[in-house]
Amino acid sequence: MRLYLLAVLLMMSSGFPGLFLRRRGGEVAAVLMSLGAVIGLTAAIRVLAGGPVATFALPPAPLATAGLLTLDPIGAFFAIPVFLLPACAAIYGIGYWDDHQENVRTLRLVLGLLAASLAFLIVSTHALPFLLGWEGMAISAFILVMTEDRLPEARRAGWIYLVCTHTGTLALFGAFAILYSASGHWVLSGLPRDFAASGQGTVLFVLCLFGFGLKAGIMPLHLWLPPTHAAAPSHVSSVMSGVLIKMGILGLVRLLSWIPDPPFWWGAVLMALGAISGILGVAFALGQHDLKRLLAYHSIENIGIILLGLGLGTLGKSTGHPVIQLLGFAGALLHVLNHSLFKGLLFLAAGSVVHAVGLRDLERMGGLGRRMPWTSAAFLVGSWAICGLPPLNGFVSEWLIYLGSFRALGFFQWPWSLVVLTALALIGALAMACFAKAYGAVFQGSPRTEAAGAAHESPRSMLVPMGILAVACAIIGLAPMLLAPALDRVVAALGEGTGMPHLSLLVNLPSLTILALVMLGLVVLLWRWLRPVDSGGTLPTWDCGYAVSSPRMQYTASSFADGLVGGLRWVLWPMSHGGKVTRSFPVDQPFESHVPDPVLDRLADPVFRSLSAGATLLRFFQGGQLHVYLLYVLLTLLTLLLWMVA
Amino acid sequence: MSQPLIPVSIQWAVHLLTLLVLPPLIPGLINKVKAVMAGRSGPPVLQLYYDLAKLAHKRAVFSRTTTWVFLAGPIGTVVAGMVAGLLVPFGHTGTPLSFEGDVILFAYLFGLARFLTVLSALDTGSSFEGMGAAREVAFSALAEPALFLGFAALAKASSSLSLSTMLLGSGLGSGRIAGPLILVLVGWAIVFLAENARIPVDDPNTHLELTMIHEVMVLDHSGRPLALVLYGASLKLLVLGAMLMDPLFPRAPQAWQNWLIFYAGLGALAVAVGLVESMTARFRMTKVPQFLIAGILASAFAFLLLLV
C-alpha cells in the first residue's frame, strides 16, 4: 500500500516542477509520471498475482475506520489502465502540447492531479475518500477540457461536462446516504442479504445507475461525452475515454460487489442499457465527420459492450449460475482494460493526425498513410482491436461475453441472452464499417486538401506511447491466458467466491494463441511470396481508366457511410441542407449533412433553453429597487404572523 | 485420444489437402453449370487453376497512392479463409481443430477478411472501389446477425458451442429439430450467396463497375495479389459451403465414404448455385437489404421454434 501511495504522490506532483522551469517541463512531468506508473503497476500486479490485499487506515479518531483505502483485486485491476494511460499521455504531451501552446503548465499540472485522483479513487473503500477522489477527478478533468479556453467550443464542452458531473455526484451523495442507513457506517462494504430486493435497494440501484451511468456515458446519459472528447487536447481525451469514463463502470462493479443477491431485473436493466448504448453508440458514430467525435461515440458503444457483460454476469449471480457469472464479469472487466488500451491508442493516433493536419474533419484528410506511416499503423492496430477482430485483444473480451451468452441460452428459457448475442454481432459489423470509413478517409487514397498533403510524421515522443499501447493490445490478444488468473481473482471479489470455476479451465484460451500463431505464420509466408514483385508504384490508380483527375472525386467518409446512415434514418434523424439542383444549367450548390446528438441537441438543449427563457420572467420580481424588496420582507413577515396566529 | 494415431493424421492430411487444392474447382463447376444451362460449352472446369498459375508469373502493378495495406486485403482473405477452414468440419470426417466457442472465431475471421479487403479497396482512392466497399460493409451488417442467429439456434439445439458438434451433432433425424434446421439453412443460404458475391445479391460476371459489390473492390489488384484474391474467394466458397452443407450429410461408417459424401455434397452445392444463377436475375441494389433481412427472419424464427 505504501508503494501505491508513493505512486499516487509521484503522479500528483509530476506537474509541479514544470511550473518553475522555463524549458523541459514536459520531460520532467513525463519522467515523474512514468516512474509513478511503474511503481503503481508493481503494487497492483502484486495484488493481482495473489499477493495480500493491502489496506490503509488513518490513525486519528474521526476517520479511524478500518479500510479507508484498500488495494483489493478490483482496484488493482482498474489500476492497470489508470497508471498506464496517464503515463503514456504525459510522454505524448511532450511533443503534442509543447512549451509554445497555451496553458501548457496548467495542463501538465492538472493532468498529474487527474491521474492521482483516479488512482486514489479506485482504492477508496470509504465514502469520504471515494467522493474526494471523484470530485478531484471531475474538477481536474473540467480544467483539462478547458485548456483551449479561447475557443467557444471548448468552453461550451467544459460547462456541459461540469453540469453533468455534478448532477451525477448529487446522485452519489444520495446513494451513499442510503448505504449509510443500511449498514450504519461509511465504509463501503458488503450489504446484508435481501437488502437489494427492498425498496431502499431499488432506490440505491437507480441512484447508482444514474450517478455512475452519467460518468460512464450510458446511452441516454452520454450527452457530455462527444463534445468533451472532441474539444479536449487529444492526450487528455485518451485519458478521459480510456480511464475516466471507466470510473462509472468501477462504481457499478463496486456496487455489485457489495450486493450478495442482486435481483434478476438489475441484470436485465444493465443488459438492456448495454444493448441500447452499444448499438446506438456505433450508429451515431457512423454519422460523424469529426474524427474525435466519432471516437467518442465509439466509447459509448464500448461502454455498452461492457454493460452487456456486466448484465450477463449479474444475471448469472442472481440465478446462481457461477459459469455465466464468471464469463460475463470476466468479459466485461477484460473489455474495460482492452478498451482503455485501444481507445487510448486511437485517441493518441487521432491527436497525431490533428497535430499534423490541424483539422478534425474527416472530409478534408486523406492519403496520410504514406506521409505518416507509423501513426497510420497505430490507428490501424487500434481499429483492428476495437472492431473485435482476431487476433487482437478486443476479440478476446467479446469472445468471453459471447461464450457467456451462448451458455446462458442453455440455462434460461427466455431469450435475454439472445439480445446480447445479436447486439454484439450487429455492433461488430457496424463498428467495422465505421472504422473502415475513418481509416479510409484519413489515411488512404490521396490528400483532399493542401493541409493533408503537407502532413509530416509526428516526433518520436508521440510515437513511443502509441507503440506501447499497440504492443499491449497485441500481447493480450496473443496470450490471453496470462490474464486469466487475475480475472479469476477479480471476479471472485465480485461474487461469492465459492464454487467458482477457473477461467483457464472453463475456456480454451491457448487455442486462440495457437490459431493466432498459425495466422502469423501464414501471413509471413504470403508476404514473402508477394514481396519480390513490389515495383515502386509510379502509376496512378487504374480505376477502369478514370485516372482520378481531382482528389475530390474520391469517395468521402459521408458517402461511404451513406448507405448505413440512410438505413438507420429512423433512429439517427440525419439532417442535410442544400444540394438541390434546380435549373437546366445548375450553378455550384453547397451541400451539408450532419447527425445531431439525440439527447444533447434534440432534448437537453431546447429544454434548458426554454427553461432559461422562462426564468427571465421571474426577473420581474427582482427589479433592483430597495423599497420593493422591503415590501417583500413586510409581506413575508405578515404571512408568517398570520400563519402562527391561525 | 482414443482414436489411433495414423487414421487421424491421414484425416488431417486429407483435410488440409482438400482445403489447399480443392477451392478453385468450385467456381469452375459453377461456371460450367451456367454455361451448360445457357447452351454454351463454357470454359474448362479447371480454368481457375490455369488463371492462378498464369497470375503467379505476372508482375503486379501498384498505384502510387497505395501503401502496404493494399496487400493486406489479399493476404488477409486467404489467411482468414485457411484458419476458418481448419475449424469447420468437412462432413463427418473430423476437424483438425475444435474447441468451445470456435464458431465465434469462425465468424469473426470472415469479418477480418472483409475489413482488410475493404481497407485495401479504399487504399487506391478510387471512387468505384469506395462505392463497392461502402456496399460491402452495409450488406454485411445485415448478414452478420443472420449468421449469428443461426448459430444461436443450433447452439440451443445441440447445447454445444463448437462448430463440429453444432453442425454435425443435431442431424435431421430428430423431428423436433428438423423444422428449425430447415429455417436456419434457408437463412444461411442467403448469407452464403451474399458473402460469396453470387447472384441474386451480386453478379460476379458483370462488366459495369457501378453495379458491382465485391468485384469492384479488387479492380486495381493485379499479378500475385490478384491471384490471392481469386483464390481467397474460392476458399470462402468452400468453407462457407461446408458450413452450409454439413447438417445435411448422413454419417457413413467408413472414413472414405464420408469424404465421398462430402465431395458429392459440395458438387451438388456448386450445381445448385449454378442453377440459381442461371434462373434468376440479380436484385436491384435497393432490394438486397430486404433479401438479407429475410435471412435474419428465417434464422430468428428458427430460434423461436426451438424455444417453444
Subunit contact A543:B127, Cβ cutoff 8 A = yes
**Total number of domains constituting chain B:** 1
Over the stretch B99-132, which tens digit does the pLDDT of each residue have?
888 999 999 999 999 999 999 999 988 888 899 9
Out of A387, A409, A567, closest to residue B155 by CB: A409
pLDDT at A414 over 70: no
- pLDDT of A61 reads 45
CB contact under 8 A, B127 and A523: no
Q: A562: nearest CA in chain B?
A: B134
Contact check, Cβ <8 Å, A369/B123 = yes
pLDDT in tens, B184-208: 999 999 999 999 988 888 887 777 7
- The domain limits of chain A are 262-522+555-574, 600-645
B144 touching A (Cβ < 8 Å): yes
Q: What would the pLDDT profile of A306-316 be if each residue is shown by its tens digit?
A: 999 999 999 98
Q: Return mean pLDDT, chain A.
A: 89
Per-residue burial over A308-318, b if 16 or more Cβ lie within 10 Å, else e, is bbbbbbbbbbb
Residues 3-42 of B with CB under 8 A from A: none
- Across chain B, mean pLDDT equals 89
Predicted complex ipTM: 0.94
The residues in B 148-167 lying below 8 A from A, measured between CB atoms, are 148-149, 151-152, 155-156, 159, 161
Would you state the pLDDT for residue B1?
A: 43
Q: What's the whole-number mean pLDDT along residues A384-399?
A: 94
In the three-class reduction of DSSP (H, G, I as helix; E, B as strand; rest coil), residue A299 is classed as helix
- Rounded to 10 degrees, the C-alpha dihedral A94/A99/A102/A107 comes to 40
State whether A559 and B130 contact (CB < 8 Å): yes
- Name the 3-class secondary structure at A458: coil
Residue in B77, B78, B82, B119 to test binding to A, most A beta-carbons within 10 Å: B119
Question: Cβ of B161 and A406 within 8 Å?
Answer: yes
Number of cross-chain residue pairs from A and B with Cβ atoms under 8 Å apart: 246
A429–B307: do the CB atoms touch at under 8 Å? Answer: no
Q: Is B169 on the interface with A (CB under 8 A)?
A: no
Distance from C-alpha of A166 to C-alpha of A145, rounded to nearest angstrom: 15
pLDDT for the residue A236: 95
Q: Angle at which helices B102-122 and B223-245 pack, to 10 degrees? A: 150
At residue A439 the predicted structure's pLDDT band, cuts being 50, 70 and 90, is: very high
Q: Which domain holds residue B40?
A: 5-307
In this model, does residue B173 exceed pLDDT 80? no
Question: What residues of chain A lie within 8 A of the CB of B57, using their CB?
Answer: none
The residues, ordered by sequence, that sit 6+ positions from B104 with a Cβ below 8 Å of its Cβ are A398, A399, A402, A403, B151
Contact indicator for A180, A189 with CB cutoff of 8 Å:
no
Residues of A in contact with B109 (CB under 8 A): 390
Q: Would you say B299 and B219 are in contact if contact means Cβ atoms under 8 Å apart?
A: no
Place of cell 483551449: A148
Highest mean pLDDT among A64-68, B99-103, B234-238: B234-238
What predicted TM-score, i.e. pTM, was given to this entire model? 0.94
- Mutation site, B124, B131, B228, B290, interface A, largest A CB count within 10 A: B124
Q: What is the pLDDT of residue A623?
A: 78
What type of residue is A174?
G
| Beta-carbon separation of B148 and A533 below 8 A | no
B125 contacts on A by Cβ (under 8 Å): 366-367, 444-446, 541, 548, 551, 554
Query: Do the Cβ atoms of A399 and A478 come closer than 8 Å?
Result: no
Residue B159 phi, psi (nearest 5): 35, 55
pLDDT at B63 over 50: yes
A515: Cβ contacts below 8 Å, ≥ 6 apart: A390, A391, B83, B86, B97, B105
Q: How near does any CA of chain B get to the CA of A297, in Å?
A: 18
CB B125 within 8 A of CB A542: no
Chain B residue numbers touching A553 (CB-CB < 8 A): 127
Lowest-pLDDT choice from A108-117, A454-463, B44-53, B213-222: B213-222
What is the distance between the terminal CA atoms of chain A, rounded to a whole angstrom? Answer: 63
What is the reported pLDDT for B167? 85
If you measure CA to CA, which chain A residue comes closest to B85? Answer: A515
Note whether B119 contacts A439, CB cutoff 8 Å.
yes
Closest CA to A278 of A428, A427, A433, A436: A427
Contact (CB<8Å) B135/A563: yes
User: Which band of pLDDT confidence, cut at 50, 70 and 90, is reported for residue A64?
Assistant: very low
Band of pLDDT at residue A575, cut at 50, 70 and 90: confident
Residues on chain A touching B155 (C-beta within 8 angstroms) = 406, 409-410
Q: Please give the grid coordinates belonging to residue A43.
A: 503494487
